[in-house]
Structure 1
Amino acid sequence: MSKSLEEVNESVSTQNKTSIFRKILAFFGPAYLISVGYMDPGNWATDIAGGSQFGYSLIWVLLMSNIMALLLQSLSARLGIVTQRDLAQASRETYSPFINYILYFLAEVAIAACDLAEVLGMAIGINLLFGIPLIEGVVITVLDTFLLLFLINKGIRKMEAFILALVAIIGFSFVFEMFFAQPDVSQVVAGLVPSMPTDAALYIAIGIIGATVMPHNLYLHSSLVQTRKFDRSSKGIKQALKYNFLDSAIALNLAFFVNAAILILAAATFYKNGLFEVAEIQDAHQLLQPLLGTKWAPILFAVALIAAGQSSTITGTLAGQIIMEGYLNLRIQPWVRRIITRLIAIVPAVVVITVFGEGVTGKLLILSQVILSLQLGFAIIPLIHFVSDKSKMKGFEIGKVTQIFSWIIALIIVSLNGKLVYDEIQGWLAISNHPTVLWFTVVPLAFGFLVLLLYIVFKPFIARQKDKVINHSPHNLNLNFSRIRAYRKKNIAIAVDFSDADEKAINSALELGGTEANYTLIHVVETIGALMYGNTVSDHETTIDQQLLAQYLEILEAKGFKIETKLGFGKPNSVIPTIINEGNFDILVMGTHGHTGLKDILFGTTVDKLRHKISIPLFIVRK
């Protein structure tokens, strides 16, 4: 299986550092690349709209979003550190191809929405600073493709340093903006108390959540932590988890400061002066100088905006690469991938600006963030399942308390999004001249996504119950042995599936071979992961099957038989013949019941394919 971001995977060594400080410093970096996604132009739009319309009252939404982000990003980092899989790869190993194609499509929609915000933000910044028209600024943003290629070729540390420099520019710009604005500290503190001024504030609040807890960042973080090479012992993994959490806490709190500064700036200038409808970044820029009385305020604002757009577009590109390679196992040239992603964002931006004018960019930015928020559930829920799975996490799964908090966060986000979608569809139906069209298009689509959401919520729970009930419990391994006859066959292969049919198959094989024969127990893992990755798969069923095969071995060796085991991966009618033909067997013995794949082999037409693929007799034992 290919590694996530293979060109920089484990490229930064954290070992052999002379001091604790240097060791911690070696782990620092991934979260700063993540943090820029929390202060991109989409955040600016929602923060400016929130601050100008509702003053300081939505600061608590930013704080809540930051706490959510810290927990979720720590889960994402944990997945990458422990399993050496990113979120997209883990999804591909777990869900069927059909479900994965849908999840991939939704992730790409989120990337496109995010990229749209970055394109508009950079174009607006270029327009404000240099006076270049917005359409031309949008086209210029294609050039950052080459900057990304240059940075990735220089190594992940150089890229992290560049991003950190841009983050520092943003941070310092807003330190000065706060000095110019002089906000009311008591009202800032009051804004930390949860409240929802109007129904319209919900739309902005969901946009803030979508802009802060960004779905593509969850994919990105699970990959970026794998750029660190560290001791893979239990102690080394614990240390990596601790240092990465510290990295995330510092970086995301810095992002919270920037977001809060933008909202506070809007509240202290626009809301305070009765300018409640400032939603466009351009309007905010033009009003800063007369309201704050300094020419530096709008300049710093534009510089910070360009830095935010440029830094977040780099990380968005990496996320797009991770999602495509993880879900589809498809690698294309980075510059091709970058141009495709950028064009997906540029085309709608150019069309909308051309048709409706530059005055709609603020609404377009907020819409892009709401789209991000709507996609969050499809990234968060699988992530929580994966880091709660004992077989995947190998002792590093999250505890019950963390699971509860994680599910509460998922419930809050999904519930808010559900209310938003319901309200929006109701509004469309009320004002539409053709509501029937909406009933046959938008409503079924929304219902379909609800069904998908419920599926990814409950499917892992059902799968775990099946693992416990069907063929995956040690009490099913009690075998009653029949009378052993004289030696007849020398090397006997036995296909097992951990069902009650194994008893007949094994006894029949032992009758054929006696105590002097050599026996090989063969089992084929048929999960989606096994089909995709072969013997490199590391999923729950593979772990259980390995344990059960080992228990069969122990039971039969205790009886005095000479036993070996073979674990195959993929389709039984292909894998079993390969094992048989590569070995030196006299006969293959198979039972009649078990997993779907074996039942198909025994009772379906594939039994003929298996029989013709092996050069030894096939002995089918009926229950």
Structure 2
Amino acid sequence: MWEKFKTIGPGMLVAGAFVGTGTITTSIVAGTENGYTFLWASVTAAIVISIILQEMTARLSMSTGKPLAVLVKERLGIWASIIVILAIVGGNSVYSVGNLSGVNIALGGLFEGIPASVWIIGVTFIYWSLLMIGKYNILEKIITILVALMGILFLINMFYVQPDYVEVVKGLIIPTLEIDKITLVIALIGTTVVPYNFYLHSTAVLERGWHKNAKTNLGMMRFDTIVPIFIGGIITMSIGVVAGTVLYPLHLSNGLVIEGSNEMAMTIEPLLGKNAYALFSLGLFAAAISSMPMAALSAAYVFTQSFGLNPDMKGNAFRLVFSFVAWVPVFFAVGIENPIWTIILAQSINGMLLPITAILVLYLINKKDTSGSLRNNLVSNILGYVAVGFTIILGLINIISTFQ
């Protein structure tokens, strides 16, 4: 068992990508305004859907020895690739607007009086420069440690605040849905089941070489997929439970609304006291900046792989795309007046775009000439169709409710 843990890699990349600003903010807002009511969406549904679809994506790449973006181009044609590129580049740009809003919330509160544009442009320039020179790994290790520590902090805090565990379990297993909360519910799922993670995961699995002996490595891939995503789900749950325990009563009694890091930091105040605000802001900043490079890089991988271009980080096309996804969001983020709602909306848009890639994965994994003996069985198909159908239905409800 310990040997399996030592080989975990691609799955940790997936979990690390979704435990970011979006997850922290949406989970805290959901817990503050609704208690434990939407834990079924943020934890149960999101984690199950993520595991089902990420496993299919990894299995698809293992069976073919090719990344997902290449398979879409080869099997479905250039127009399918163009749709994917537009969805990923557009979705990742929106996602980055949300992350930049997180930077604004975190640093703007710590250093009052300094314009948001300074932080947004400064942070973007730093991570973009490190990507350009290929040295982002230096910063990534520090950020990963900070995000992990914040996750552990919330996990400890969940037990410290002593929630009503019976109500927590009810929130996890009993789905409830109100039409006026549909955007929040989609955001809770979209922040975990991130569309660009499918493309990152497929590339990471190939880099591990698991496709060279696919059937033998199938068990390792599944372990690698399930365990990190499950751990990410536990962290997400702890954030929602703490918010539901600490802030929901204040919402009911005093009308507390999450407007920035001041309110969000109250979730860890029982454990850290007066140090809560500074430490929360630091953690939120780390979570924000950890996700932005992944969004930029994944868009560049999808673009270059789809058109048969050089997927190297120093390639001109690769740099052009990740620079686009890095800098275009800056122009939108600097003028945002409600960063909390922007973060939630960004996650919701990604949730709306999720079915595009999910449908393609489900189609390709069922083609015998593509997946061979690793194609879906009956159980996998039932789980896959339910997962995809669920996201489509939520998206349709959201669209219909918008025009009513």
Q: TM-score, normalised by structure 2?
A: 0.89
2:296 to 317, 340, 347: 317
Residue 336 to residue 242, structure 1, CA distance change in 2 (3 Å): same
| Aligned equivalent of 1:138 | 120
For the residue of structure 2 that corresponds to 1:212, the secondary structure is coil
2:65 to 69, 73, 84: 84
| Aligned equivalent of 1:73 | 54
| Aligned equivalent of 1:305 | 284
Q: Show CA shifts across 1:209-259 (max 9, x none).
A: 111111111111111111113572xxx312322112111222111211221
Residue 30 to residue 99, structure 1, CA distance change in 2 (3 Å): closer
For the residue of structure 1 that corresponds to 2:357, the secondary structure is helix
| Aligned equivalent of 1:246 | 223
User: How many Å separate the matches in 1 of 2:145 and 2:40?
Assistant: 28
- 2:198 is aligned with 1:218: yes
Deviation at 1:277, TM superposition (A): 5.2
Q: Show CA shifts across 1:335-355 (max 9, x none).
A: 54333211121111113x2xx
What is the letter of the counterpart of residue 60 of structure 1? W
User: How many Å separate the matches in 2 of 1:213 and 1:230?
Assistant: 23
Please say if residues 103 and 378 of structure 1, whose CA atoms lie closer than 8 Å, have aligned partners that are also in contact: yes
| Aligned equivalent of 2:237 | 260
Please say if residues 27 and 244 of structure 1, whose CA atoms lie closer than 8 Å, have aligned partners that are also in contact: no
User: How many Å separate the matches in 1 of 2:267 and 2:383?
Assistant: 40
Residue 425 to residue 197, structure 1, CA distance change in 2 (3 Å): closer
| Aligned equivalent of 2:39 | 59
| Aligned equivalent of 2:246 | 269
Please say if residues 116 and 346 of structure 1, whose CA atoms lie closer than 8 Å, have aligned partners that are also in contact: yes
Moved runs in structure 1, 4+ residues, more than 6 A?
289-293
Aligned length: 394
What is the letter of the counterpart of residue 295 of structure 1? K
After superposition, where does 1:274-293 map in structure 2 within 5 Å?
A: 274=252, 278-285=257-264, 287-288=266-267
Q: Tell me which structure has the larger Cα radius of gyration.
A: 1
What is the letter of the counterpart of residue 236 of structure 2? N
Structure ranking higher in strand proportion: 1
Deviation at 1:400, TM superposition (A): 1.5
User: How many Å separate the matches in 2 of 1:380 and 1:55?
Assistant: 30
User: How many Å separate the matches in 2 of 1:291 and 1:159?
Assistant: 30
| Aligned equivalent of 1:408 | 386
What is the letter of the counterpart of residue 119 of structure 1? L
After superposition, where does 1:104-123 map in structure 2 within 5 Å?
A: 104-123=85-104
1:350 to 328, 334, 343: 334
User: How many Å separate the matches in 1 of 2:110 and 2:221?
Assistant: 37
Structure ranking higher in helix proportion: 2
Report sequence identity in percent: 23
After superposition, where does 1:433-444 map in structure 2 within 5 Å?
A: none
User: How many Å separate the matches in 2 of 1:147 and 1:103?
Assistant: 27
1:47 to 27, 39, 42: 27
User: How many Å separate the matches in 1 of 2:256 and 2:362?
Assistant: 39
Please say if residues 55 and 222 of structure 2, whose CA atoms lie closer than 8 Å, have aligned partners that are also in contact: yes
| Aligned equivalent of 1:165 | 145
Residue 186 to residue 89, structure 1, CA distance change in 2 (3 Å): same
| Aligned equivalent of 2:17 | 37
Deviation at 1:294, TM superposition (A): 0.6
1:368 to 346, 369, 372: 346
- The structure showing larger relative contact order (alpha-carbon pairs under 8 Å, at least 6 residues apart) is 2
Residue 289 to residue 383, structure 1, CA distance change in 2 (3 Å): closer
Structure 1 unaligned residues grouped into runs of 5+: 1-19, 427-623
Deviation at 1:185, TM superposition (A): 2.3
After superposition, where does 1:451-600 map in structure 2 within 5 Å?
A: none
Residue 286 to residue 153, structure 1, CA distance change in 2 (3 Å): closer
Residue 180 to residue 278, structure 1, CA distance change in 2 (3 Å): farther
What is the letter of the counterpart of residue 366 of structure 1? I
User: How many Å separate the matches in 2 of 1:75 and 1:100?
Assistant: 19
Residue 301 to residue 153, structure 1, CA distance change in 2 (3 Å): closer
2:377 to 385, 399, 411: 399
Residue 361 to residue 152, structure 1, CA distance change in 2 (3 Å): same
| Aligned equivalent of 2:130 | 147
Please say if residues 27 and 239 of structure 2, whose CA atoms lie closer than 8 Å, have aligned partners that are also in contact: yes
Give RMSD over aligned pairs.
2.6
What is the letter of the counterpart of residue 123 of structure 2? T
Residue 363 to residue 58, structure 1, CA distance change in 2 (3 Å): same
User: How many Å separate the matches in 2 of 1:231 and 1:293?
Assistant: 46
User: How many Å separate the matches in 1 of 2:74 and 2:334?
Assistant: 38
